[in-house]
Amino acid sequence: MQILETIAGRSSAKKFGDHGLSIETIEGLLRCAARAPDHGLLSPWRFIVLLDEGRKVFADALESALRRRDPAVDAQTVERERSKAFRSPALIVVAAVITPHPKVPEIEQIAAVGAAVENLIIAAHGQGLATMWKTGGAAYDPTVKQALGLALQDHIVGFVHVGVPTEMKPVRSVDLDAVTRWVR
């Protein structure tokens, strides 16, 4: 079955080219993301798509967060931090917005958003694109959440870079025995 080879052959991109993605392509990926399993059909995922100048919003937020953490930070470190926003032509921030629900605890809603990210990643890979799923301190920083229009209680599950890769990570080998116990 070809889908097994597609999934097993995925790896993250290390670097992306400048080649932009069409809105239709990105919408296709987001439709796949939003088809993830969803207990209670709460649609806990939110997608913030940063393209072109839109990535500057994220760069500014990264810089503000860094300056708040370290007011004496040097210009080179600031530039390095800002450059994270421009690693790829498209940056999709995937967040979890939790709806209080008697049968669907928060962890299940976050897990659903993780599944949405994976759907997005596999969909991109299936089309010859590549992704890089990042988080880091910025994902938990209130300045960054605010700049992206999120509430403090929302969770940033990933900054997903998407584009045409120019350099890929090698495909990891899997040691199933280390993580599997069979009971029969």
Ligand X SMILES: Cc1cc2nc3c(=O)[nH]c(=O)nc-3n(C[C@H](O)[C@H](O)[C@H](O)COP(=O)(O)O)c2cc1C
Site string for ligand X, 46-85 (x = CB under 6 A): ----------------------------------------
- C-alpha separations of 84 from 58, 91, 143 in Å: 9, 10, 16
Residue 135 as a binder of ligand X (CB under 6 A): the answer is yes
CB-facing half-sphere around the CA of 71: CA atoms within 13 A: 0
Nearest CA to 107 out of 164, 171, 155 is that of: 155
* Residue 23 neighbours by CB under 8 Å, 6+ apart: none
Question: How many residues lie near ligand X (CB under 6 A)?
Answer: 10
Should residue 172 be labelled a site residue for ligand X when binding is judged by CB under 6 A?
A: yes
- Residue 14 engages ligand X in binding (rule: CB under 6 A): no
158 touches ligand X by CB under 6 A: yes
Smaller CB distance to ligand X: residue 78 or 168?
168
Report the alpha-carbon distance of residue 143 to residue 90 in Å, rounded: 21
Least Cβ distance, residue 184 to ligand X (angstroms) = 30
Dihedral sign for Cα 95, 98, 104, 106, please.
positive
Q: Is 25 in the site for ligand X (CB under 6 A)?
A: no
133 interacts with ligand X by CB under 6 A? yes
- R_g over Cα of the chain: 18
Q: What is the binding site for ligand X (CB under 6 A)?
A: 11-12, 132-136, 158, 169, 172
